[in-house]
Amino acid sequence: MTKTVLIASIMHETNTFSRQPTGLEEYRRRYDHRGDAVPKAFRGTATEMGAFIAAADQHGWTLRHPIAAAATPAGKVTKAAWDELSGALLAEVDDKVEGILLALHGAMVTESTDDAEGELLARIRQKIGPDVPIAITLDLHANVSDRMAEHANIIIAYRTYPHVDQFERGIQAAELVQRAMAGEIRPRTVVARRPTLDGLDHGRTTTPGPMTEMLERADRCEKEPGILVVSVHAGFGWADIRDAGPSVTVTGDGERPQFRAIAEELMDEVWRTRRQSSVTFYSVDEAIEVAESPTARASLSSSPTPPTTPAAAAMAMRPICFPR
Ligand SMILES: [Zn+2]
């Protein structure tokens, strides 16, 4: 029997210190696809949504794809934009839906809620009841709340930074939802955090350090019986919210104390290594001095702001390039 699966994506990495609000116009500027425009935009792409669509083709699912929208990182998402975006998704959630796959960022804050993903998942859960499996994929820089872990059966974060494994994580999520819909597994997720905004060397995976070591440990834990996914989240500390910072989620088959024990053990290590950083932070004057040296090839930006996301710069300096 063909399964009805809802796939959707609403993404934002919110810097709550930015004064630049993120409205619908900012979503449209990056992308805001609705209905049939969603598979048109994502089929055959190496994205989470591309993976969900590929899995649907393989398993013969009937898909609902109400929305795929993302805006460039900046300040809080306006209440109007959030109501409209989440409303478009929720309108397609009913008792015919047998599985849900969401590609989220995990660090979205709106004018009306500090935990946008948690609220979205709670509202979906309210509509579909406890038995329909929900899997979410997250950016590695997600702030994972208890509410997210309570309402998403499966949480899967990227394992690369720069992020290049979106397709793999999407397929992983889709396969677990398929197994859950078939009654093979009953996934549940727990999350562990510590009172730190920073850690895991900001999630850097290109050099040896806390993040790569933790991912190796996560890989080993995933080989243990009953463990389905162990995700290591570096967090997004530039958010003035309760749950900002690193976390570990463990998705297991059923509910066992062992899942929480693994999450807590890994977070003990995140806490222990929280001050390890491979990034050198300069003061503004020092940074300008470095950039002006004759041999420098430099791009200046504030640390919470990747140079590729200038929209967040309202809170700090604008990226300045020094051509040499
Ligand atoms: Zn990220």
Tell me, in angstroms, the distance from the centre of ligand 1 to residue 94's CA. 31
Q: Give 14's strand partners.
A: 74
Neighbours of ion ligand 1 (CB under 5 A): 139, 141
**Percent over 70 (pLDDT), the chain:** 93
The dihedral region occupied by 256, where left means phi > 0, alpha psi between -120 and 50, and beta the remainder, is beta
> Per residue in 268-289, pLDDT tens?
999 999 999 888 878 888 888 8
- Give the domain ranges of the chain: 4-272, 284-321
Tell me, in angstroms, the distance from the centre of ligand 1 to residue 163's CA. 7
| The pLDDT of residue 292 is above 90 | no
Does the CA dihedral 139-145-147-151 come out positive or negative? Answer: positive
Summarize the confidence of residues 70-79 as an average pLDDT: 97
Tell me, in angstroms, the distance from the centre of ligand 1 to residue 1's CA. 38
- Which residue from 24, 16, 27, 169 is spatially nearest to 103, judged by alpha carbons? 169
Tell me, in angstroms, the distance from the centre of ligand 1 to residue 239's CA. 14
Quote the Cα angle for 66-87-78, to 5°. 115
Instruction: Note the pLDDT of residue 112.
Output: 97
Tell me, in angstroms, the distance from the centre of ligand 1 to residue 139's CA. 5
Q: Which residue has the tokens 């950016």?
A: 139
Q: How confident is the model at residue 307 (pLDDT cuts 50, 70, 90)?
A: very low
| The pLDDT of residue 90 is above 80 | yes
Q: pTM for this one?
A: 0.91
- State how far the Cα of 145 lies from the Cα of 135, in Å rounded to an integer: 15
Tell me, in angstroms, the distance from the centre of ligand 1 to residue 161's CA. 7
Helix pair 210-222, 257-272: axis angle to 10 deg: 170
Cβ pair 14, 239 in contact under 8 A: yes
| The pLDDT of residue 207 is above 80 | yes
> Per residue in 217-245, pLDDT tens?
999 999 999 999 999 999 999 999 999 99
